[in-house]
Structure 1
Amino acid sequence: FRTSAKYYRCIIYVDGFYEHHHFKGKTYPYFVHKKNASPIVFAGLWNKWNDPDTGQQLRTFSIVTTEANSMMAKIHNNPKLQGPRMPLILPEGMEDRWLIPVEDEIDIKSIQELIHAYPEEELAAYTVDRLRGKGYIGNIPEISQKVAYPVLQEEL
């Protein structure tokens, strides 16, 4: 990712994102969003990839992650991972700073200053319907509606 980090940074706008919480051998999806309902801006990296079978060139992207804030650490508790992570959410007005070309050490430090957990007091999360398996209702707007799981009443 070194080349992408230096030359191919991008931003991704979303209304929110989904994260699974692990509890007693099962997973429960959460929808995470900004409390003020403004779009979330993810820091991303992009690159070109050539499909070896077709020769077609595709542009792909990855969302940069960072250490989790306290709220996300409770939600993103996958026991198979080395620790909780969360997407790198850029503070409002910092999009241009993330996208600046890297010319020198000052530019690198400017970008590195953006890499930290987003303040949990600006985010909210709630459980939603299953995102996979038998009960999955599909990629439709209703998937973001609140769903209560009684087993989680005291968990978070």
Structure 2
Amino acid sequence: MCGRYASTKDPATLAVEFDALDATESEAPGADYNVAPTKPVLAIVARHPRDEEGKPDPDSVVRSIRVMRWGLVPTWSKDRNVGVKMINARSETAATKPAYRDSMARRRCILPADGWFEWKRDGGAKEPFYITNPDGSSLAMAGLWTAWRDPNEPDSPWLVTCAVLTTDAFGPLAEVHERMPLVLPRESIEQWLAPDKGSDDVAELLAPSQEIVSRFELRPVSTAVNSIRNNGPDLLVRAEPEPEVAELDLFS
């Protein structure tokens, strides 16, 4: 699963890295080393541009960076708070689940991340790990998005929300947690974002790339990341194991 991740690059940097336009205007969140559910996040979408009358141009596609809230709220939901429990969508069932089906077919996105956090249960305690690319390049986490409006306030502004697609973890990652975000290779991004491709057209992209996963660094980090109140680059620093302390023999 993915319940916390880091996103520290500004939209201008991501625009170059992902060949996209910065459409965040003044809404872009700052560097966040501990992204938690319901926070504003950066997402990359590809859409047909519209003219002044709202008519899309089928011959043109624009890739842009937008701001969304993490935690997908289905269009038919009566309460935005449902998004708290819908931060992740299983890639195996997203095309058929009512909450994600339409987004899987027509509203896919990329959630760029420096890396994500996962916790390994060791007895009664949970040990946090940070999974990232050692070369510093962003992870292209596959995501879904939609727009929701409060049914009790038809004139209220649209709330744009998103979810991370997850898949089975394997290799060393599976020893930490059985699920992981679906991270796409760069050559698959155009196909994933294509606004005219449906669920069946991207089904082949839902299997995790072993080549990508094999490059990940699995880094133990401080338990400070456990609290969403903590935020800063120190959360990404490798945590060195505590030295063993020899027991004092009082009877020697």
Give TM class, smaller chain. 0.7 to 0.9
Greater Rg by CA: 2
Q: 1:112 aligns with which of 203, 218, 240?
A: 203
User: How far apart are 1:72 and its partner, in Å?
Assistant: 1.5
Is structure 2 residue 174 aligned with structure 1 residue 73? yes
Per-residue Cα deviation, 1:16-43 (whole angstroms, up to 9, x for no partner): 1111111101111101011332111000
Distance of 1:149 and 1:8 partners within structure 2: 43
Could you give the per-residue CA deviations for residues 93-150 of structure 1, whole angstroms, max 9, x where no partner exists?
21111012345xxx644411111123232111111111225xx771111110011345
- The answer to which structure, 1 or 2, has the higher relative contact order (CA under 8 A, 6+ apart) is 1
Q: Gaps spanning 5+ residues in structure 2: where?
A: 1-99, 244-252
* CA separation of 1:148 and 1:10: change in aligned 2, threshold 3 A: same
Report the secondary structure of 1:93's partner residue.
Answer: helix
1:66-105 aligned within 5 A: 66-76=167-177, 84-103=178-197
Q: 1:53 to 1:21 in 2, by over 3 A?
A: farther
Deviations 1:50-108 (A, max 9, x none): 246764421000000111121221111xxxxxxx11100001221111012345xxx64
* Aligned counterpart, 2:149: 50
Greater Cα offset, 33-42 or 45-54: 45-54
SS in structure 1 of the partner of residue 186 of structure 2: coil
1:116-155 map, 5 Å:
116-119=207-210, 120-130=213-223, 131-133=225-227, 138-150=230-242
8 Å contact from structure 1 (residues 137, 143) kept in 2 = no
CA–CA distance in structure 1, aligned partners of residues 146 and 181 of structure 2:
18
2:121 equivalent in structure 1? 22
Residue ranges of structure 1 left out of the alignment (5+ in a row): 77-83, 152-156
Identity of aligned residues (%): 28
Note if contact 1:89-1:117 (Cα within 8 Å) is conserved in structure 2: yes
Aligned alpha-carbon RMSD (Å): 2.3
DSSP-derived class of the 1:64 partner: strand
Tell me, in whole angstroms, the C-alpha distance in 2 between the residues paired with 1:127 and 1:53.
46
- Normalising by structure 1, what TM-score? 0.78
CA contact (8 A) 1:65 1:85 kept: yes
Code of the aligned partner of 2:165? V
Q: What's the TM-score, normalizing by structure 2?
A: 0.50
Per the alignment, do residues 100 and 28 of structure 1 end up closer, same or farther by CA in structure 2, a change over 3 Å counting?
same
* Equivalent pairs, count: 139
Name the counterpart of 2:8: none
Structure 1 contact 65–87 (Cα < 8 Å) conserved: yes
3-state SS of paired residue (2:230): coil
